[in-house]
Amino acid sequence: MMNTALFQTMIDKYDMFAYTHHYIFGFTFKDNVYMVKTTSKVLPYILKLDKASRGQGYALRFLPTLDQKAFLLTLGATLICSKLFFEEQVSNSKYNKGEIFEKIVTEQFGQEWKKDTVPFTDGGDLTVNNTAYQIKFEKATFTNEKILARM
């Protein structure tokens, strides 16, 4: 049973402190990798309240179910690459799936990617036409209770 009050409070607080309210979500579906541009309005429908690392309380994570992926597809998701290509990129790199997804998306927008550690309160991962986006791939953690409590 999910604590819906805590879930909504964490989303609201995250959204309040977030530099941007625009997102590019990545997910696998039927042997392909997709991306969809959307806003924070979808967060309650696609995020999950999950246990965070020890001592961090709960975490907000992007762990889309099949139904949530189907929902994201209806928002105009576009095909990025095959799952096989994506997994090859990850295995031939020192970067994780989220970083490789961010790299592929950034390059698709004609920009050069470099790894950064800009906090979600200070900037997006990619700016296109003066809109900053946070980029999240499935299994991404948005934040946790400990981080939000410090704000």
Q: How confident is the model at residue 55 (pLDDT cuts 50, 70, 90)?
A: confident
Number of independent structural domains in the chain: 1
Amino acid making up residue 131 = T
Neighbour count for residue 4 (Cβ, 10 Å) = 10
The string of pLDDT tens digits covering residues 14-36 is: 999 999 999 999 999 999 999 99
pLDDT at 68 over 80: yes
Containing structural domain, residue 20: 4-149
pLDDT bucket at 3, cuts 50 / 70 / 90: confident
CB atoms closer than 10 angstroms to residue 21: 16
* pLDDT confidence of residue 53: 87
Given a cut of 70, is residue 1 above it in pLDDT?
A: no
